Amino acid sequence: MIGDSVPALVRWGKNVPPSVIGKIRADGFVEVVRYAAENQKFFARKLRERGIDPKRVRRPEDLGDIFTTPEDLRALPAEDFLCREPELVFETTGTSGGPKRVYFSYEELDFAARYEAAALYENGVRPGARVVCTFDGGYWISSWVTFLACKKLGVFCSAVGKPHPREVYTRMAEYRYNVIMADPTWLVSFSEIAEKEGVFPLRLIVAAGDRMTDVYRSYVERIWQCPVILGYGSTEQGGAGMECVRKEGYHLDDYNIYFEIINPDPEGYGELVASTLSRRTMPLIRYRVQDVTRFIDAPCPCGAPLRRIERIRGRRDEMVVMGAGNMYPEIFERLMQGIVGIAENWHVVVRQEDLHDVLEFCMELTNGVSSSAVETAIQSNLRTLYPDVWANHACGMYQLSFRFLPPGSIEQGRKRRRLIDERAA
């Protein structure tokens, strides 16, 4: 009915009522559960162990405590998850442990690209655009899907892996790139070059693959004078969602992924769980993404009928429970925002002294700023932005500490660790 036309897919999608999308999602879940029960050793074994008849499953809750976890993908052989012969494989490493391998068919990769193309089209990417994609290549999925999405849109695209920002900057005029897709830290380095040497006219920047703080986004937008929107996904989920230009949460791919949020707190924040509805090579049923977020109940002013989630607050395995409360990296990113003189590499350590939890800010300072000014600014932000966390400090439930280190002392790996728990188990 829609064929392979991206504009037609966008027009169709914007006119589907949320109730119909919900029905598509529910029917897709029933179908993939029955398919995996017949073809996937891992899922069939889980059903047998719990005595669940897949024909009686209508919604995720009917599966009880059956989930697929990152640990399952790392520890078990691929044959436990494959339902048919694969045609390609991607890997994701995460923050610890060995790689997680996820297998696809060419058709499934092409299908995923179609929906990324629709999201890019909705954000203004049209024929005539010139895209440079610097998402890491190799065994990572992002650059391949973006390249195929651009092919479907009929736009010029250089998917160049992850070169040094200088390499792309020197080619901006030659290739007339006006759309950039990259991870946040690469974009910051790229923008630092442009701030010193000059900018080029851009239509859009899409950032994904890492946490983009408000400070990063504001800086990149100020340098390039164009919107920066965020994409969200992973190798396991595929492209899960993307912001619109209003930047009020990720619009989810409700047609191809069934999203849940489990164990929500009183504010609705919980762990995101995803079931892939359209994949048949290696479908994942109730995959625990480990990202912490919440659904946005109100419809988006842009008019899209898809559900939305908030920007990711943190990862479940990054949450630290201590005297200050439930701590996420996002909290400290907000605390640091706008404070002059804090170098890019910083982290917060939770440790224990005697019977007390200590929240220690470890930072490198720049531009001759005084350490006392930074301490005062952080405590002021904490009191203003997180009064409950500050109240716990005032009650003596934890102590604050600050450690200022020489430049270059704090090393950060490929994925920054902003919050580190050093307490003994």
Q: Which DSSP state fits 312?
A: P
Segment among 96-100, 160-164, 221-225, 230-234 with least mean pLDDT: 96-100
Q: Which DSSP state fits 54?
A: G
For residues 102 and 162, which has the higher predicted lDDT (pLDDT)? Answer: 102
Calculate ∠ Cα 408-371-405, nearest 5°: 25
* pLDDT(419) > 60: yes
Please tell me the distance from the alpha carbon of residue 43 to that of residue 236, in angstroms, as a whole number: 16
- Convert the pLDDT of each residue in 203-219 to its tens digit: 999 999 777 878 788 99
Please tell me the distance from the alpha carbon of residue 208 to that of residue 231, in angstroms, as a whole number: 5
pLDDT band at 1 (very low <50, low <70, confident <90, very high): very low
Segment among 16-20, 100-104, 388-392 with least mean pLDDT: 388-392
Closest Cα to residue 253, out of 270, 239, 273, 269? 239
For residues 411 and 38, which has the higher predicted lDDT (pLDDT)? Answer: 38
Please tell me the distance from the alpha carbon of residue 49 to that of residue 309, in angstroms, as a whole number: 33
Dihedral in degrees, nearest 10, Cα atoms 240, 245, 247, 249 = -30
- Convert the pLDDT of each residue in 119-146 to its tens digit: 999 999 999 999 999 998 878 899 999 9
pLDDT of residue 3: 56
Measured between alpha carbons, how far is residue 158 from residues 109, 124, 162, 221 in Å?
A: 18, 18, 11, 22
Please tell me the distance from the alpha carbon of residue 10 to that of residue 14, in angstroms, as a whole number: 6
pLDDT band at 96 (very low <50, low <70, confident <90, very high): very low
- Convert the pLDDT of each residue in 47-90 to its tens digit: 999 999 999 999 999 999 999 999 999 999 999 999 999 999 99
pLDDT of residue 132: 98
As a whole number, mean pLDDT of residues 236-247 equals 93
* pLDDT(197) > 90: yes
Helix pair angle (6-14, 106-122), 10° resolution: 70
Please tell me the distance from the alpha carbon of residue 64 to that of residue 305, in angstroms, as a whole number: 29
pLDDT of residue 95: 42
* pLDDT(97) > 70: no
Please tell me the distance from the alpha carbon of residue 178 to that of residue 128, in angstroms, as a whole number: 9
Please tell me the distance from the alpha carbon of residue 239 to that of residue 315, in angstroms, as a whole number: 18
Tell me the domains of the chain and their CATH numbers.
Answer: 1-313 (3.40.50.12780), 319-421 (3.30.300.30)
pLDDT of residue 176: 97
Q: Highest mean pLDDT range out of 18-22, 42-46, 89-93, 396-400?
A: 42-46
- Convert the pLDDT of each residue in 247-305 to its tens digit: 999 999 999 999 999 999 888 999 999 999 999 999 999 999 989 899 999 999 998 99
Please tell me the distance from the alpha carbon of residue 243 to that of residue 230, in angstroms, as a whole number: 6
pLDDT of residue 53: 98
pLDDT band at 414 (very low <50, low <70, confident <90, very high): low
Closest Cα to residue 329, out of 242, 258, 400, 417? 417
pLDDT of residue 356: 76
| For the chain, percent of residues with pLDDT exceeding 70 | 95
Letter string b/e over residues 11-20, b meaning 16 or more CB atoms within 10 A of that residue's CB: eebeeeeeee
Alpha-helical (H) ranges within 240-348 are 329-336
